[in-house]
A and B are shown apart, each in its own frame.
Chain A
């Protein structure tokens, strides 16, 4: 069995004194794709913000590669190897795409930055022609590609994505998830939070359902594919009995 890459144990977090998520525990292993889905207000984004150190933990601990990171600030967690695409993409609107991407690897030398840039452009070839364009002038889908590309420039072992399909046309969502599927083929683990459950579950190997700040369901794909997930999580009804065949 693979060793734990990311481990959450009894995590509670929120805003002010009010906990929004309570007692969250799960383990992710190297190369795993995990989707966290749930309705609006379930606490999915709060969970990611706690994992990334945007908000402090009230209880519990977060471990990455066996090391407790629960007290580290966000930039330090990113430098440890967790790439992060926050909700709303948070690009640098007035900087060109090239700078947006290169800043994701600002701690590396010029040669390494160039190498990683080539890797990102191989994943999102559309960005090749947009390198000199200011990020604010891109479409939503292109901006999302830059946000993911910027996170990949840091050379992460775990990629954390918060609602990557928000505001995107279905065709663009399909294109984006196709690119993400290519990423997940290697050692890179991907943790994704989505309201677009269908897209996320087609992509992930495992799903967690959040509701009211707690994890209320989980499912392994185990080769069963999307219908199994969707049935488990109540997105689709299981047929009550076998459909009769016509004579």
Chain B
């Protein structure tokens, strides 16, 4: 029984971390209808900045969240205002050009990371002990990362639901023309949203690098994983992404325990393929968007 509860908790905690990884991508897609192929590279960059702050300034990854968030926010502003919002074309051709632009950005970011941090895998040895709760034993690092991820997810939710800026973001996601007709500067909301999504990706990187080592070329794998979660949840759907993230966490943990580490990722992608066939709109489809 203790093992089952431990596995459940581990799965849910990993789910929290995966949610944070996917949340930025989901937010950007929900508002801008942009699939950001550089998302994983931004996660990696956030992780490697946290790595540098830990090794050169002695800053713990939890404290590094704030500067990483701020730096990646500025980077997101520059990318959105300098590149993505300059693509004037609308419709499928515009979306394709934006997709190519983020594809190019992925290479640019990966190579920049390579020039700064080299090609070797890096990790942060942070909270490597075990958390003992009665009969349950949980890794401290995962518990801390998961708690921080849930806290950030909650803050994002409250920001979108309660603040006027958050409501303008949701308004632009739901009706760009309606938002413009309300006098909302849609273009700047899109730029701000991209920057926020980028900052969230960076924060996710700062936490994930404590659990999984990164190297400058790890980005595409993380993009695929994040995009899979977003697609499984229902594109642009926050609640769906959360459910998908928890599902991934649980499947990975249980598959790893019963079938071994190699089966863990394969089991999730098998489920994803089944979902694409049976329910291509994802867990929650179009309901409950950003």
With A and B bound together, what is the CA distance between A52 and B183 in angstroms? Answer: 11
Contact across chains for B164 and A106 when beta carbons are under 8 A apart:
yes
- With both chains docked as a complex, state the minimum distance between the C-beta of B157 and any C-beta of chain A, in angstroms: 14
- Name which residue of chain B comes closest to A79, CB basis: B183
User: Quick check: is B190 within 8 A (CB to CB) of the other chain?
Assistant: no
Contact across chains for A151 and B181 when beta carbons are under 8 A apart:
yes
User: Quick check: is B137 within 8 A (CB to CB) of the other chain?
Assistant: no
User: Quick check: is A78 within 8 A (CB to CB) of the other chain?
Assistant: yes
Contact across chains for B180 and A74 when beta carbons are under 8 A apart:
yes
In the complex, chain A residues whose CB is within 8 Å of the CB of B181 = 52, 74, 78, 84-86, 90, 150-151
With A and B bound together, what is the CA distance between A54 and B181 in angstroms? Answer: 10
The answer to whether residues A75 and B185 also contact, given A94-B289, A103-B179 and a CB cut-off of 8 A, is yes
User: Quick check: is B182 within 8 A (CB to CB) of the other chain?
Assistant: yes
Contact across chains for B174 and A106 when beta carbons are under 8 A apart:
no
- Name which residue of chain A comes closest to B178, CB basis: A90
Contact across chains for B183 and A92 when beta carbons are under 8 A apart:
no
In the complex, chain B residues whose CB is within 8 Å of the CB of A153 = 182
Query: Most chain-B CB neighbours within 10 Å: which of A54, A79, A89, A92?
Result: A92
Interface size on B, residues (CB 8 A): 20
With A and B bound together, what is the CA distance between A153 and B167 in angstroms? Answer: 16
- With both chains docked as a complex, state the minimum distance between the C-beta of A105 and any C-beta of chain B, in angstroms: 8
With A and B bound together, what is the CA distance between A65 and B202 in angstroms? Answer: 47
Interface residues of A in 78-104 (CB under 8 A from B): 78-79, 84-86, 89-95, 99, 102-104
User: Quick check: is A14 within 8 A (CB to CB) of the other chain?
Assistant: no
Residue of A75, A84, A154 near B186 (CB, 8 A) is A75
Contact across chains for A94 and B179 when beta carbons are under 8 A apart:
no
In the complex, chain A residues whose CB is within 8 Å of the CB of B218 = none
Interface residues of B in 157-188 (CB under 8 A from A): 164, 167-168, 170-171, 174-175, 177-187
- With both chains docked as a complex, state the minimum distance between the C-beta of B255 and any C-beta of chain A, in angstroms: 35
User: Quick check: is B288 within 8 A (CB to CB) of the other chain?
Assistant: yes
In the complex, chain A residues whose CB is within 8 Å of the CB of B182 = 75, 78, 103-104, 106, 150-151, 153-154
